A = this chain, B = another copy of it.
Amino acid sequence: MTDTLIKVDLDTPATENPQVHNRWHPDIPMACWVKPGDDFILETYDWTAGAIANNDDASDVRDVDLSTVHYLSGPVGVEGAAPGDLLVVDLLDIGAKEEAPWGFNGFFSQQNGGGFLTEHFPHAQKSIWDFHGLYTSSRHVPGVHFAGLIHPGLIGCLPSRDLLETWNRREADLIATNPDRVPPLANPPVAATAHMGAMTGDDRDKAAAEGARTVPPREHGGNVDIKDLSRGSKIFFPVYVDGGGLSVGDLHFSQGDGEITFCGAIEMAGGWVHMKVELIKGGMAKYGIKNPIFKPSPITPNYKDYLIFEGISVDETGHQHYLDVNVAYRQACLNAIEYLKKFGYSGAQAYSILGVAPVQGHISGVVDIPNSCATLWIPSEIFDFDIHPGSDGPMKHIDGRVDVPIAYD
Contacts and interface: CB of A to CB of B under 8 A. Distances in A.
A75 to B, nearest CB: 20
Contacts of A184: 369
Interface in A341-359: 341-342
Given A299-B147, A312-B217, A389-B280, A363 B133 contact: no
Nearest to A391: B280
A358 to B, nearest CB: 10
A307 B293 contact: yes
Contacts of A244: none
Interface residues of A, number: 126
A298 interface: yes
Contacts of A121: none
Contacts of A186: 320, 322, 369-370
A92 interface: yes
A103 interface: no
A309 interface: yes
A223 B3 CA distance: 35
Contact of A366 (B92, B187, B326): B326
A372 B320 CA distance: 21
Contacts of A374: 363
A265 B72 CA distance: 39
A64 interface: no
A232 B295 CA distance: 23
A210 interface: no
A185 B166 CA distance: 33
A86 interface: yes
A224 B373 contact: yes
A40 to B, nearest CB: 11
A281 B391 contact: yes
A365 B223 contact: yes
A361 B364 CA distance: 7
A373 B260 contact: no
Nearest to A393: B286
Given A228-B375, A362-B257, A366-B260, A92 B135 contact: yes
Interface string A146-190: 010000000000000000001000110110000000011111000
A288 B369 CA distance: 26
Interface in A288-340: 288-312, 314, 318-320, 322-326, 329, 331-332, 335, 338-339
A311 B291 CA distance: 7
A119 to B, nearest CB: 14
Given A232-B147, A236-B389, A290-B335, A365 B86 contact: no
A54 to B, nearest CB: 13
A11 interface: no
Contacts of A304: 298, 302-305
A291 to B, nearest CB: 4
Contacts of A135: 92, 232
Interface string A263-290: 0100000000010100011110011111
A310 B281 contact: no
Contact of A170 (B288, B320, B341): B320
B260 A367 contact: yes
A228 to B, nearest CB: 7
